[in-house]
Chain A
Amino acid sequence: MALESAVIQQKVIDQFGLKVADFVQLHDILTFEVAPDAILEVMKYLKEDEILRFNFLTDVCGVHYPEYAEERQFAVVYHLHNWVDNVRIRIKSFLPASNPEIDSVVPLFLGANWMERETYDFFGIIFKGHPQLKRILNMDEMTVFPMRREFPLEDGGRTDKDDRFFGRTQQNC
């Protein structure tokens, strides 16, 4: 592998200092956290730097962590891929529950358009500067964000499914 994780880490830290943190190698992918206000700059740097060259946005998705502190309840996870050196990285950005807002990366990657719309649709995360931030898979009239963990999968009033004897409760099944 031509581009080592340590090199990526050093370059990103040199450039952004305290805006990036928590570097960890999870299986084959270097993962780190970026402050939400710096996401666009960091992505731009990763994409345009001559050594890093993370030129492909593989994936954007949201995660909800209701058990975390208030200012870290939502995460937006970006997977970037450098096709020249064939290296992937994962970037996480944690957002507060009261105001989950982050800059859109559509100016850098056209493909982020629908991926961010999907994340908005399911988690209610607002992407600032997105050209068309509206629901995509769910119907427009929907008022909830169904992938948030407080949203139940099934109607809680069902009596025909009783799995308590197998250690399952409303919370874990």
Chain B
Amino acid sequence: MSELLLPPEQRYASVINQRRNEDGSELSILNLGPTHPATHGIFQNILLMDGERILDGESTVGYIHRAFEKIAENRPFYQITVLTDRLNYCSAPINNMGWWMTIEKALGIEVPKRVQYMRVIVMELARIADHIICNSVLGVDTGALTGFLYVFQFREKIYEIYEEICGARLTTNMGRIGGFERDWSPAVWSKIDAFLEEFPAAWQEFENLLVRNRIFMDRTINVGPISAEKAMSYGFTGPNLRAAGIDYDIRVAQPYSSYEDFEFDIPVGKSGDTYDRFCVRNAEIWESLKIIKQALAKMPEGNFHADVPEYYLPPKEDVYTTMESLIYHFKIVMGEIPVPLTEVYHPVEGGNGELGFYLITDGSRTPYRLHFRRPCFIYYQAFNDMVRGQNLSDAIATLSSLNVIAGELDA
């Protein structure tokens, strides 16, 4: 049996037994996690330490595995959205919209331009919320709690916009096949306007606090770096990949939901270290704001959902008065919608990388197989490579800047 198949603590114990430093000091094992105040989420890393230095480590994941793929095989399509919420719960609307777009691709539904623009707005708001959390928490991990509390009120503002759109805040379950469940009220638009008014100044202050801050720079520059080649081999996507210098962004590479209509840049870093990841996310927030402003300015007239009665729930008053609506309502709620035999893969640019949905249908009410390509799961395996030889405190900053979300990691 290969040595690597043993539990890491056993492997490391034998290393400790065999090896002494020259001054007679011993190596030690540190069990970082699964619940540890410095790891935001349920992450366990078993580390072999020489004093403060990490010699080797192994991540043990799966503490909040909830069998989403298995559950999805047993649910009608519209009931799977609530599972996608719980993948990357920091940017749930992106997951929701990605899932609706996957079904629409499989069913061949064309959604109106207005819906696409509304989706872009809500996805970019979600991206901002996601990056606010990641970057401000990186501040916390390097000792700056104030900035975190200061910008967190704007995450709250974004959640109020979600609430106005769909009624929920964290796990949004937003939208339907073909569009949104209801038209956006005037309050939504005014809250978005207020957010665009107030947020940039606050974010600028936050940036000023950290970007050229000597302490912050010392704690993050050259911490947890990864080269572009290695990042690519490890399957990095999203801001972490762009921080290593590769300008791959699905919004540009394979535009979905009318992203081709907007002018924006893809910020890239150079060295792939914690500081670059921080800066790329900062810059992406400004790009997201640009996209939202353009989408608001160019917002086309039209309906808030596609005209697909077989898939889109009819208004409740019609259900009580007309026969067709009643039939459609019943069939949709029971999940009995016509589904072609097909296979689709639909990627969207999630908060932390390429979130892909691989759907195999067999014509029944449930997916035959649904696989989530979860960006965190794929790039988190590089973590131990990135922190080998670094100090423990650097590992915490690296983990924080990778923006690994436990829900997405463990599915």
Contacts and interface: CB of A to CB of B under 8 A. Distances in A.
Asked if A and B bind, the verdict is: yes
Contact of B358 (A59, A110, A131, A140): A59
A152 to B, nearest CB: 10
Interface in A149-173: 149, 151, 153, 166-167, 172-173
Main SS at interface, chain B: mixed
Given A79-B345, A132-B2, A61 B371 contact: yes
Interface string B50-64: 000000000001100
Given A59-B373, A118-B377, A31 B230 contact: no
Given A83-B248, A90-B345, A172 B235 contact: no
B343 interface: yes
Contact of B230 (A55, A110, A149): A110
B5 A132 contact: yes
A138 B62 contact: yes
Contacts of B248: 83
Contacts of B382: 110
B81 to A, nearest CB: 18
Interface string A15-34: 00000000000110101000
A173 B76 CA distance: 9
Interface in B364-386: 364-366, 368-369, 371, 373, 377-382
Interface stretch (B67-75, B147-155, B198-206): B67-75
Contacts of A112: 235
Contacts of A139: 62
Nearest to B409: A137
Given A58-B373, A63-B369, A111-B233, A134 B5 contact: yes
A161 B84 CA distance: 24
Interface residues of B, number: 50
A172 B334 contact: no
Interface in B91-133: 105
Interface in A27-55: 27, 29, 31, 55
A68 interface: no
A111 B234 contact: yes
Most A CB atoms within 10 A — which of B105, B235, B254, B360? B235
B65 interface: yes
B61 A137 contact: yes
A112 B378 CA distance: 8
Interface in A74-123: 77, 79, 83, 86, 88, 90, 109-115, 118, 122
A79 B69 contact: no
B249 to A, nearest CB: 11
A136 B62 contact: yes
B344 interface: yes
A26 B342 CA distance: 7
Contacts of B230: 110
A137 B65 contact: yes
A163 to B, nearest CB: 10
B61 A136 contact: yes
Given A27-B344, A58-B354, A111 B360 contact: no
Given A27-B344, A139-B62, A131 B74 contact: no
A79 B237 CA distance: 14
Interface in B246-277: 246, 248, 253-254
Contacts of B369: 61, 63-64
B234 A110 contact: yes
B255 to A, nearest CB: 11
Contact of B235 (A58, A83, A118, A146): A58
A110 B233 contact: yes
A86 B347 CA distance: 13
B70 A153 contact: yes
Contacts of A63: 360, 368-369
A114 B377 contact: yes
11 contacts: A27-B345, A58-B354, A59-B356, A83-B248, A86-B253, A110-B235, A110-B382, A111-B235, A114-B377, A132-B2, A173-B74
Given A26-B342, A77-B371, A90-B343, 14 more contacts: A26-B344, A57-B235, A61-B358, A83-B248, A86-B253, A110-B381, A111-B381, A118-B377, A122-B69, A137-B61, A137-B411, A147-B69, A166-B334, A172-B365
Complex A-B, nearest 10 residue pairs according to Cβ-Cβ distance, in ascending order: A111-B235, A137-B62, A61-B371, A132-B4, A137-B65, A110-B233, A114-B381, A59-B373, A111-B234, A26-B343
Interface of B: 2, 4-5, 7, 61-62, 65, 67, 69-71, 73-74, 105, 230, 232-236, 246, 248, 253-254, 334, 336, 342-345, 347, 354, 356, 358, 360, 364-366, 368-369, 371, 373, 377-382, 410-411
Interface of A: 26-27, 29, 31, 55-59, 61, 63-64, 77, 79, 83, 86, 88, 90, 109-115, 118, 122, 131-140, 146-147, 149, 151, 153, 166-167, 172-173
